[in-house]
Amino acid sequence: MHDNDVYQLTPKGQQELRSGATTLPPAEIELLIRIDGILSFAQISAGMPAVPVETLAATLQSLLIRGLLAQAENDPFTEQFNIQLNQLALSKAEAEADSGAASLKKAGYYVSIARGRGPARKLAPGEILSAIVVDDEPMLAKFIQTYLSFEGFQVRLAGNRAEVVAEFRKPPIPDLILLDVMLPDADGFDILLRLRQHPALKNVPVIMLTGKATRESVIKGLAGGADGYVTKPFEADALMRAVRTVVGLPEAPASPGAAPDPWVNRDAKS
């Protein structure tokens, strides 16, 4: 193990991180959420000053032996992306990601972060909001479409690069975009960057909806211009709260005795 070594989660590690029934101790969870194939051991250690280097090394070694981590190579796209990031946005995103990581350990091992874009929005009588859901899981996309329709949205779906381009070109300009990161022929982070450079779409609220729950992935999304970041598996109520926050809608009244819908918690795409 060397200071410049870079590590990534294995499929086993990704599943363990997303499992609400994980048996990992807090120290190992804290390390896992910082591993994403980008940061070196030295960088991770510098970001965890309260943990002695020897302890951190022993924890990492244990995760390696049990097959939850593996050594990785640097991702050129990520390096290019990091160079482009505004440092103020990056600093703010790091703080929000750390806050999200804390909630991850308290609330069933998922991240749910949402930023409001301004004052509360009051819809005119008969006004209908529109949304685009970008996700290549048809059943999950339909499920989200149904929930958004309950919130008064007209929803369009896209599951690959061609469909994304087609939907983004159609009127009306959406009031919300839910954007998966892992598409069959596109990268959601790249789409996010292009959206933020598009003259007509640059101000549309975007929520990243993905199975990538590492700290660096959260930072990448928030610093890249996302208004929210919700990880799979998720609870429908948590997603709808994020939607209302980023769009500026008032909170929906709580339903007494309502239980989270377990269907979405079975989505575990890695």
Cα distance between residue 2 and residue 44, in whole Å = 12
In a domain, 24, yes or no: yes
Q: What are phi and psi of 62, to 5 degrees?
A: -65, -40
Cα distance between residue 204 and residue 66, in whole Å = 43
Regarding whether 250 and 124 lie in a shared domain, the answer is yes
pLDDT reported for residue 89: 59
How many structural domains is the chain composed of?
A: 2
Regarding whether 250 and 118 lie in a shared domain, the answer is yes
Q: Which two tokens mark 59?
A: 């924890």
226 contacts 207 by C-beta, under 8 angstroms: yes
Look up the pTM and report it. Answer: 0.57
Regarding whether 133 and 70 lie in a shared domain, the answer is no
Q: Tens of pLDDT along 157-171? A: 999 989 999 999 999
One-character DSSP codes across 146-177: HHHHHTTEEEEEE-SHHHHHHHHHSSSPPSEE
Regarding whether 149 and 22 lie in a shared domain, the answer is no
Cβ burial 187-202 (10 Å sphere, 16+ → b, else e): ebbebbbebeeeeebe
In a domain, 121, yes or no: yes
Q: Tens of pLDDT along 124-153? A: 888 889 999 999 999 999 999 998 998 889
227 pLDDT exceeds 70? yes
In a domain, 69, yes or no: yes
Using the Cα atoms of residue 248, residue 107, residue 133 and residue 78 in order, give the sign of their dihedral: positive
Q: Tens of pLDDT along 173-223? A: 999 999 998 888 888 888 998 898 898 999 999 999 887 767 777 778 888
Regarding whether 228 and 120 lie in a shared domain, the answer is yes
Mark which of 54, 74, 94 sits at the end of a domain.
74
189 contacts 74 by C-beta, under 8 angstroms: no
Identify the residue with better confidence: 76 or 112.
112
Average pLDDT for the chain? 77
What is the pLDDT confidence band of residue 268, given thresholds at 50, 70 and 90?
very low
Regarding whether 185 and 56 lie in a shared domain, the answer is no
Mark which of 28, 53, 74 sits at the end of a domain.
74
Regarding whether 119 and 232 lie in a shared domain, the answer is yes
98 pLDDT exceeds 70? no
11 contacts 70 by C-beta, under 8 angstroms: no
In a domain, 92, yes or no: no
2 pLDDT exceeds 80? no
pLDDT reported for residue 256: 46
Q: Three-class SS of residue 40?
A: strand
pLDDT reported for residue 91: 60
**Of 196, 204, 147, 139, residue with least CA distance to 171:** 204
Regarding whether 135 and 254 lie in a shared domain, the answer is yes
Angle, CA of 94, 98 and 101, to the nearest 5°: 135
What is the pLDDT confidence band of residue 19, given thresholds at 50, 70 and 90?
low
pLDDT reported for residue 225: 87
pLDDT reported for residue 270: 36
In a domain, 106, yes or no: no
CATH code (residue 185): 3.40.50.2300
Q: What are phi and psi of 225, to 5 degrees?
A: 115, 5
Domain encompassing residue 129: 112-266
Angle, CA of 28, 67 and 19, to the nearest 5°: 55
Identify the residue with better confidence: 17 or 185.
185
pLDDT reported for residue 163: 93
Regarding whether 131 and 59 lie in a shared domain, the answer is no
Regarding whether 243 and 117 lie in a shared domain, the answer is yes
pLDDT reported for residue 172: 92
Neighbours of 54 (CB within 10 A): 8
pLDDT reported for residue 20: 52
In a domain, 79, yes or no: no
pLDDT reported for residue 77: 44
Regarding whether 162 and 248 lie in a shared domain, the answer is yes
Q: Tens of pLDDT along 42-83? A: 878 877 777 888 998 999 899 999 998 888 765 444 444 444
Mark which of 74, 99, 125 sits at the end of a domain.
74
In a domain, 96, yes or no: no
In a domain, 186, yes or no: yes
Regarding whether 148 and 246 lie in a shared domain, the answer is yes
